[in-house]
Structures are given as structure tokens and as C-alpha cells.
Amino acid sequence: MMIISLQSYRSYKTSRDGVNWDLSEAVPRLPGETHVADKEVIYICPFNGPIKGRVYITNYRLYLRSLETDSALILDVPLGVISRIEKMGGATSRGENSYGLDITCKDMRNLRFALKQEGHSRRDMFEILTRHAFPLAHSLPIFAFLNEEKFNVDGWMVYNPVEEYRRQGLPNHHWRITFINKCYELCDTYPSLLVVPYRASDEDLRRVATFRSRNRIPVLSWIHPENKTVIVRCSQPLVGMSGKRNKDDEKYLDVIRETNRQISKLTIYDARPNVNAVANKATGGGYESDDAYHNAELFFLDIHNIHVMRESLKKVKDIVYPNVEESHWLSSLESTHWLEHIKLVLTGAIQVADKVSSGKSSVLVHCSDGWDRTAQLTSLAMLMLDSFYRSIEGFEILVQKEWISFGHKFASRIGHGDKNHADADRSPIFLQFIDCVWQMSKQFPTAFEFNEQFLITILDHLYSCRFGTFLYNCESARERQKVTERTVSLWSLINSNKDRFKNPFYTKEINRVLYPVASMRHLELWVNYYIRWNPRIKQQQPNPVEQRYLELLALRDEYIKRLEELQLANSAKLSDPSTSPSSPSQMMPHVQTHF
Amino acid sequence: MMFFFLFSVSGNASNPEFKKKKNSECLLRLRHEGLLNSCPAGVASCPASSCPFRSPRSPRLKLLESALLLGPRPTAGGMEFSELIRTGRAQAELLRGPGAPPLRGTLCVTGHHLLLSPGPQATSDLWLLLLRSVDSIEKRVAGDSGTITLRCKDLRVLQLDIEGVEATLDIARSIEALSSLESVITSFPFFYRPKGLRLGDAWHFHPPEHYYKRVARETNAWRLSEVNEDFSVCPSYPRAVIVPRAVDDDALARSARFRQGGRFPVLSYHHAPSGTVLLRSSQPLTGPQKRRCAEDEELLRAVLAGARPGARGFIVDTRSAQAAKQARMTGGGTEAKAAYPGWKRLHRPMERGRPLQESFVRLVEACGDLEQSMDRWLSRLEGCRWLAHVKEALSTACLAAQGMEREGACILVHGAEGTDSTLLVTSLAQLILDPLSRTMTGFQELVEREWIQAGHPFQLRCAHSAFSHARPKHEAPTFLLFLDCVWQLGRQFPLSLEFGEGLLLALFEHAYASPFGTFLCNSEKERCLCEVRTRTHSLWSGLNQPKEQRKLRNPLYVLNPLAIWPSVEPQSLRLWQGLFLRWTRPPEPSEAAWEKVWQIVTDKEKTEGSQPTVSASEPQP
């Protein structure tokens, strides 16, 4: 009963996403989405038991509508969410609904469909689903390349590296912008535009690159507007078993240190646990030793690798889906260690932020390759330090910069369109980052311009393959595939309907550093994400808080507009430039009520 | 003005003669008014072994003792606590935990307060702590200074660094003596005379009478009985109770004799949409011989007859079936099926008494243990079982509410005494079903009617909070558990309660230590004897002052006419951080958020007003 309203609410939401919602049509369809097949099945709902329905498969989604009169259930699952399709039961297996398909999803749920046993009835459905859910194995394009949606905002314009660095006050007389990686020859997983110390020549950079794993040299991520201390990111040095040294790398780090004269040491945060860093020497990696880097202090942050995180999330799914472990909920949750990992990531980021802000020391962050834990640490620290990233567009820029452009391997970690569900490269690193952001937004309810829905939408489209934003592993691959020309950006969807993603209690504060409490006592499981499929945890339907928030937001905007009108009337005496950044011109177009 | 008389305390010499006279006078009056002949908490008639708060001494004795032992009475110019005050003042530094800067100044112990007055150059105001709110005290001396750690009933931990060993010990002893005074009539509420409030205000709250007016509008089947006018039928009930019209006062009196502590079934809530009622009582005294009481049976029959035709009844017993059966051996028991046709018994065991208090103590210990290694927190939280109690309470309340709303049945709730779990269930069920009880005034009336007037023994249950080293006797955080459940409701239905966390926190604080008289004593009878209504201020008048509203109200409130069914799944229940971690985390972010919400709502009211009157020079929202 609950699920009905939940689902209808979802469909109400999708209809506002720009989907053609034609009532005469059975299935909502995006421009470019085509019908492939439909079939009568029994959906084995883990909460309400078997429900007879018709499933419609398009090249983008699996859509199920109940055929039973007393249940209005609708399932709307983008095929990109599917990680694995299995046949359950055989032609001879007995028992009701024992023959069919079992679908594992990336977003914390599984779907089971039962079909008639006679005549291999599931074979074609299995094949069609496999083809469209895993297009890579069948030389089919990912749906993002077929999507013909149009938005009035172009999300690809959100991030412009030159502009972002200019916002940070770069280049300055210590840091320069280099185009050495223009054709990705220095480092194929880095963006084309990099910020490096002014005193390091391009030749120096090339030599440093030989000593850093996958040539990911230390480059600037963020500079403190007052201290001029910086966050620099890179990969591990190639020290190896023999303890190799590289004069250029040592000199380069010293140059970075010298850009800030307030403190005599450069702080290096190695995100890994100490033992892992040592173990990496066996494969040619390692960490900066004291003897080689006199002017640096190294700390390990004890964050585990992608495999540990993957297993941890798997355990979370085990205790929340389909049924929530009831009798020992908290100790089961503890045994997944998920919150403990969240705590470690947050603690690491706090240390980075604190060092840069209060410690007045420049910081270098790396893990092994510098595209997972490093991205988590730099982006979270930047979120704590720089209020700009707490706005909707700022956050988009942060994700676009620290994650997408710096080569977090989205394609490998998520496995877009790839059937190899057991790939050891898959890992929920980005999800973990979003979880950390959510924890922060819980602790600072007024500090973020965006709401929970914004974060959930990002995660939904991390898997959906509807947008090109999270496709491929690095900028060079994206450029080769002309992703920005051939696909739509997720930010187009979000920015063309920002109101839905706004936190009405957002208070813009410049220069406030947020230090979340990273104690287990103050972290909680993100129930609205991880357990959202369970109708029992939903309370009021449809979510009235969200509606009320929107109402309040509209009223606030209206108020600001009126205030603005009054200000215009007295404008002569009021020409304070400090009020203009929050100028109502951004707000005004959204003064509308939609309920 | 208040400070003036507090400061005058230590200077006042006591007059032993005068005090003695006052003491005996007081005792005489108590005897005259019948306190010696009855038991304040209704425990006298209670079968001893079924009472979870076993104590060698009856609470009645306790009360008298305290009245005898200490006789400080208000005198013209001040009080006579001076002999308990070992030292007047000392230099000290106060540490108030994270976020608050330390405070230096002159420390001063008065009859009811601990004061710290900062030096003349300091900007901050006088710091004041009600001694009654000190739960435990720990002293340490080293060199020529000492440290006193005060753990307060509101879970705050304060540290005082005091100059001088003697001064430290003296101050510690004074606080110890003064914070554990048990006499009601010498407690601070009898001296508290705040500006802007008039004595007697808000004591006009007569919940049973007031609530009866509402019931009478909805149905004719009930009447207001004054059978307990002089508290002789049931010492823990108020003067007036709502009972079936068909049952006369004599029958009520006889039913009362069949119920522990005289708590015969009375109306708690009338659910007009379904025409059913919620009743509460204590256990029937069936005993090993399976006694019956015709009047009691008649009473419950009349309840069903007065509800919609064909209505059934459920008796929700807050003990397990086995515990209920065992209670027979000690004179208690439960309603026999054959004797109450139409009524069906359901057992929903809820823990109370000592296990509940221990759970509270363990939870507070866990929350305050900052050494705690991070990876064991969740299992430790689970081990405290506090959230399990929250779940039990909410799901039993849901059961009762569901019985009324969905099954159209009448519900009678009782455990043993009917003064703890019973009230928890009936009050929560009303919050779930009744939109009026979710308003600011409705909720205050609910607390007054279903807890204070219904005879929850606050004085006994809240004598100590979670820090006391003494073995718990009658202490149990039943009321806190209720507040926590309400907080969970508010978290799950953020728009449906007119009040916010602020009110719940205030009620918690005041239940344990308060300058107001509302939570004093164990029953209405005791409050009458102590003249609480005429000699103390009501908490409600204190809370309902306009300046308090921003802290207490929920700015997002919109009337929700529906029942609010909470989710009781373990992952839907949270630790109430605002209470249990209140003093260990910086409060700014949540306070800022609260302020922001208010600002937006106030803005809204402004824009909704005829014409915005804001001038351009006003700050932007």
C-alpha cells in the first residue's frame, strides 16, 4: 500500500525531469529512447509478494506496470543500474514462481521476475536485457549517446578550468598554468590544463613525471585565499624495493614548499595505512622517506583500498535489502564497517583542511594512483575550506574538477555498460564521497545550497547512463569520444530545474571553514539512500518536508524580490557592492510556485 | 531582585528556637491534613513484591522524615540554610565543556544556588546553577587548590577549579548537603518569584475538567465524577475523573478497592472518529483465589455499551503473560477472560523501573565516554538497550492506537501500578491519533493530564538522573522515555508537531530540577497538601511567555488532521543527539539552522502582511 504512493511519487518526479509523459503511452519515454520489447511477468516484490505486471524494455529502461487492479505498482529502472542478470530455477524446477530472472542492481536493490516455465519464455527477455544493459559487450552505444534531450541550460559549460583557477586567484607569482599536458602526453589520466609552481620548468615536470606512478605529478588543487597555502595532489613516488630517489622530485617538492614561507615543512598525507604503503614498494611504489625529503613531514591516514570499500558496501546491502536486519541492527551495521570508513575519510579530510587553514602549511595528498582516496580527500577538504563549493554550481565544479577531470576511473569503478559484474576494479569510492558530503550537510544544515535530493539525483545518474557526465575514466578518453558534443550533461538537468535541489535554509557565508565532527557518535547511516526501497522506513507520503521547503523557498524568494524592489526605490543611497554576489538576479527566475 | 535575597542568605544567622517551632508546626499540619494516614504514591496497598521499586522504607516515611529533619522555612528576610553552608565564597574557575569559554570569578553557595560572579572587569553575567540539578559531585585536591566535578541532572558536566583546599572541601560538602534535600516545601519553587509572572497563573489548568468538556461535546456516555474529591478513593488520582455515565460513585469506590492503589479504570482519551475510548487503570487485585469484583466488571461492560454498538475491547497489559500471572501470587493479577465478556487481553511486555534506569545510566555513560574507541560505538549503543525501550514504547502505543482507529475497539491499558508504562502508552497513543494533542497547548495539557494529574510519581522517579552513585530506589526515566518517543515522532513527522525539540528539552530539565512547582510531588494529593498551586509558579506560565516561544515552537508546523503512524523499525529510530550529546558537541550548527528556519517563517509572515514595511537598510535575509 505504501509502495503505491511511493511509486506514483516517483513517476510524478520523473515527469518533471523533462520526460515525455504521454498518458496514452504505456511507458514514459525520453527523446531518443526506443521501445524494444514487452512481456507479461510476475514481479516478486520483496515487500508485498508477487505482483502480476507487464514489463516494457526500452534501450534506456526497464519499466514495469502492475496488471492487478488493487495495486498501482510501477517500477522504473534505468538499465545502467543493472550490474548482473541471472536465470533462476530451471525448466523443471518446482514451486510457484521459481523460474525466471534475478537482477542485481548497483543502487542497493535486486529485482526478481518470475515467468511461465513452458517454452523457454525467459530466454528472449534475458537476451534483450543483457544486450541493452551491457551494451559494451554487444558493440552497442551507451544510451547517453542516443539521448536527444534538450535543456535550456548547457551543463557542459559549468566547469571551465581557467575560470575556476582565476576564481582562486591563479595564476599568481608563485603558481602558473601550464599547457604541457595539452595532448595528454605528460600524463594521459590528467586534465590538459595544470597548475604548477612558477619556478618549475616544463622540463622539470617531465622529469618528475618519471618518478610518479602513472606520471601523475604533484599539481595544485586549491590555494588558500589568505595564507596562500596550497593543496597539491599526485600519485605515489616510484621508490620500489631498492628505495630509489629522484633529485628532481625532491627538488620539486621543495619548490612547492617554498611557495609558502610561513612554515618550514611541507606536509604529506599518504591516504593509505602505513603497511599498505610499505607493501606497495614491492610493486615499485612507496612513499616519501624522511632521508630523501628533509623538508617534509609524512602522515598516513589509514584509509583502506577500493576492495575493502567494495566488500564493506556489500555487507551494508546484505543487512538492508530486502529485509532489514532487525534484532541486532546496530551491531550488524557496525560489522559492515561502512561508517568507520566514512569516519576515516572525513577525519583525513579534516586534517588536510586544518593543516592548510590553521596550520598554515601547504599539503601534498596522495594514495597509490591518486585517483580514488586522493580525490576524496582533496575534494572534501576543499568543501570544508571553500564555501563556493557548497553552492549547487560550486559543487558541480568540484566534482567536475577533482573527480572527473583528474581521472577518477568512473568507467572502471562503476562498470558502465559492462557485464563483468565481479570486476575487481569496481568500487563505491564516489558514493562514499557523496555519503561524506551528506554527513556534513546533516551537521551543518544551513551551509549547503543543495539538499539531499541533489545528492541522490547525482548518485542515480552515476549509474543511469542517461548523461555523459560520469562516462569514461579520464579526460583524454572523453575527448576522443567527443562526450561533450555527443551527450548531455547531468548538470543540464539539475541547473534547469534548480529549485528542486535547493536547501531553503542555506545561508551564504564566505570564508567559513566547516569542521564536521567525525566521531562515530555523530555519523549515521544514510537511510534515505541505502534503505530507500523499503516502504517501511518511509514515513509521510509524499514527502511533505520537501514540499514545505519548496513553499518556504518560494516565499523567501518573493520576499527577496520585494526587498529588492524597495531597495531599487531607495537605490541612490544604497550602492554597497557586498550585496551584489547574492544578487537576486539569480533568484528571480525561480519565483514561482508549483504546487 | 532575586539575586538580592539569595545573597542575603549566607549572612543571615539562624534561630534554632524559631526553627524548631516551625518544624513541629509543619508536622502537625501534615498530620492534620491526613498525610500520615495515606501513602503518597499509592504503594501502601500495593503487594510488595510486585513493586519494581522495592525499598525498606515507604516513601511516606521519607517525606515525613525530610520534613522533620530539615526545617528551614522562609522567614522575613531570607532562609536558614546557613548551617549547611560551610563556606560562603571562594575564587574559582568554571569549565563548561566544549564551546563555552571558562569563567573566572567568585564562587558562592546559597541555599538553592551555586553562583559564580565574574570580576568587575568581566563582561559576562552572573552564572547561576540550581543546586537541585546537581546529580553527583566529585572532589579532588592537589597542592593548594582543588577541583570539583559536578554532574548535573540535565547531563551537563561542569568542572570547578577552586583556590584553597579547605574552601574546596567546604564547598563540596555544602553542595552535597544542599543538593540532596528531599523536603518539598523548602525547595526552591517555594521561593522563586520571577518578574513578570503572577503567583497562581496557569494553575487554572484543570485538565480532567477541561478535557471533559471536550468529551461531553462528542459523546453523552461519560460523566465527570468527583468520587475522589478528598483523595480517599484513590490517593494518586486527581479530584475529578471521567467515568462511564452508567456507573455510579459507589460502584467506582468498590471497583477502586479491587484495583491496586485504588486506580480504577478511567477515561484517558475519547477517539471521536471511531467512537471508541482509551482507558487506563492499575492491575486488578485478583490474587491467588482469583477474586472478582462485580462493580469492576460492570464498569468495563458499561464502557463497551457506551461505545459504538458491538464494540469489542482490548486490555493491553504492559507485562508479559507470565509476569501478569505471577502477580497473582502477591495479590495482583489480571482480568479473567470469563469475567469480562467482550474484552480480550494482549500482553506487551515493557521494561520499567530499575532495568530502565540502568539502561539510561549506561547510555549516558557511553555518550560521555570520550575515550571510547570508535569502532565499538554502535554495539555499545545497542547494548544500552535504550533504543529498544523506545521501540517497545512506540510499538505498544501504536498497537493501542491501531486497536481504536482500525479495529474500532475500546482499549484499557494497565501494567501493575498503572503509573509508569501505562501512562507512556496512553499518552503516546493520543499523540499518534489526536491532532489537538500535537499543538503547543494540547501537548501541555496532555502532559499535565496524563502524567502530572494521572499520578506519575515525579518526585520519586526523578530524584536522580543518570550520574548518581547511589543505588536506584524509585528512580526511573519513564518520563524521559516518553519525551524521547515524542522526539522520534517529531523527527519522523517534522511538520506535525507544533512544538520543537526545545520544549522537550525544557520538560526534561524541569522534570528533574526546576524553579517551578509543576513537577513537584508524586500526586495531586501531595501537591494539595504542600499547597503547590498557591505557593509556587507553574512551569506552563513560565514557558508560555512570549520570549520563550522561539525556542519551543516548531516553525514548520502545519496542522495534520491524520493519525501519524511512526515507523518503529530500528533504522528509523535515532539516538536523540540533542539530548544525549547536547553538552559534548558544539551546538552552533543546529542552533543556526533553527534560527534560519525561524527567520524564513517570520519573513513569510511579514510578506503575508498587508504591505511589507521593511526599509532598505534592514539586513538581507
What SS3 state is found at B157? strand
* A412 has binding-site annotation: no
- On the question of pLDDT at A25 being above 60, the answer is no
Minimum CA–CA partner of B605 in chain A: A555
Establish if B491 touches chain A: CB-CB under 8 angstroms.
no
Torsion of Cα atoms, B216 then B219 then B222 then B223, to 10°: 20
Distance (Å) from the alpha carbon of B222 to chain A's nearest alpha carbon: 35
- Give the C-alpha separation, B431 to B485, whole Å: 10
All residues of chain A having their beta carbon less than 8 Å from the beta carbon of residue B597 are: 505
Q: What is the pTM of this model?
A: 0.84
Q: What is the DSSP letter of A454?
A: H
Mean pLDDT estimate for chain B: 81
Of B381, B493, B586, the CB nearest to A539: B493
CB distance B589–A527 less than 8 Å? no
CB distance A560–B621 less than 8 Å? yes
β strands within A119-274, DSSP E: 175-178, 194-197, 219-223, 230-234, 266-270
- On the question of pLDDT at B568 being above 80, the answer is yes
Give the bridge partners for A231, in sequence order: A222, A363
pLDDT given at position B588:
64
| Number of neighbours of residue B214 by Cβ within 10 angstroms | 12
CB distance B585–A517 less than 8 Å? yes
All residues of chain A having their beta carbon less than 8 Å from the beta carbon of residue B386 are: none
Of B168 and B397, the one with more pLDDT: B397
Torsion of Cα atoms, B421 then B427 then B431 then B437, to 10°: -160
Peptide bond into B118 cis (omega under 30): no
With b for 16 or more beta-carbon neighbours within 10 A and e for fewer, the A529-568 pattern comes to bbbbbbbbbbbbeebbeeebbbbbbbbbbbbbebbbebbe
Minimum CA–CA partner of A525 in chain B: B571
CB distance B577–A522 less than 8 Å? yes
Q: What is the DSSP letter of A20?
A: B
- On the question of pLDDT at A567 being above 90, the answer is no
Confidence of residue B62 (pLDDT cuts 50, 70, 90): very low
All residues of chain A having their beta carbon less than 8 Å from the beta carbon of residue B616 are: 563, 566-567, 569-570, 573-574
Establish if B598 touches chain A: CB-CB under 8 angstroms.
no
Segment among A260-274, B213-227, B360-374 with least mean pLDDT? B360-374
β strands within A89-171, DSSP E: 100-105, 110-114
Give the bridge partners for B92, in sequence order: B105, B162
Q: Which amino acid is at B506?
A: A
Q: Which of residues 50-79 of B touch A (CB under 8 A)?
A: none
> Which of B367, B432, B438, B571 best tests the A interface by mutation, with the highest count of A CBs <10 A?
B571
| Number of neighbours of residue B196 by Cβ within 10 angstroms | 8
CB distance A539–B556 less than 8 Å? no
Distance (Å) from the alpha carbon of A324 to chain B's nearest alpha carbon: 8
> Any residues with CB less than 8 A from the CB of A61 and at least 6 apart, and which?
A27, A33, A76, A77, A78, A79
Q: What is the pLDDT of residues B504-559, one digit of tens each?
A: 999 999 999 999 999 999 999 999 999 998 889 999 988 888 888 888 999 888 88
Confidence of residue B43 (pLDDT cuts 50, 70, 90): very low
pLDDT given at position A288:
96
Of B379, B596, B601, the CB nearest to A330: B379
- On the question of pLDDT at B402 being above 80, the answer is yes
- Give the C-alpha separation, B425 to B519, whole Å: 20
- Give the C-alpha separation, A278 to A280, whole Å: 5
- Give the C-alpha separation, A506 to A398, whole Å: 18
All residues of chain B having their beta carbon less than 8 Å from the beta carbon of residue A337 are: 375
Minimum CA–CA partner of B558 in chain A: A548
All residues of chain B having their beta carbon less than 8 Å from the beta carbon of residue A445 are: 589-590, 592-593, 596
Q: Give me A6's grid cell.
A: 511511493
| Number of neighbours of residue A465 by Cβ within 10 angstroms | 27
- On the question of pLDDT at B4 being above 50, the answer is no
> Which of A323, A441, A559, A579 best tests the B interface by mutation, with the highest count of B CBs <10 A?
A559
Segment among A99-108, A353-362, B198-207 with least mean pLDDT? B198-207
pLDDT given at position B524:
92
- Give the C-alpha separation, B482 to B479, whole Å: 5
Establish if B600 touches chain A: CB-CB under 8 angstroms.
yes
Q: Does A367 qualify as catalytic in the annotation?
A: yes
Minimum CA–CA partner of B369 in chain A: A521
Confidence of residue A261 (pLDDT cuts 50, 70, 90): confident
The rounded radius of gyration (Å) of the Cα atoms in chain B is: 25
pLDDT given at position B548:
84
Q: What is the pLDDT of residues A134-147, one digit of tens each?
A: 999 899 999 999 99
All residues of chain B having their beta carbon less than 8 Å from the beta carbon of residue A524 are: 574
Catalytic residue among A367, A436, A465, A474: A367
Confidence of residue A251 (pLDDT cuts 50, 70, 90): very high
What SS3 state is found at A82? strand
- Give the C-alpha separation, B128 to B109, whole Å: 10
Distance (Å) from the alpha carbon of B389 to chain A's nearest alpha carbon: 13
CB distance B603–A334 less than 8 Å? no
- Give the C-alpha separation, A53 to A114, whole Å: 10
All residues of chain B having their beta carbon less than 8 Å from the beta carbon of residue A560 are: 620-621
Q: Which of residues 341-380 of B touch A (CB under 8 A)?
A: 367, 374-379
* A305 has binding-site annotation: yes
- Give the C-alpha separation, A519 to A342, whole Å: 10
Of A66 and B613, the one with more pLDDT: A66
* A370 has binding-site annotation: yes
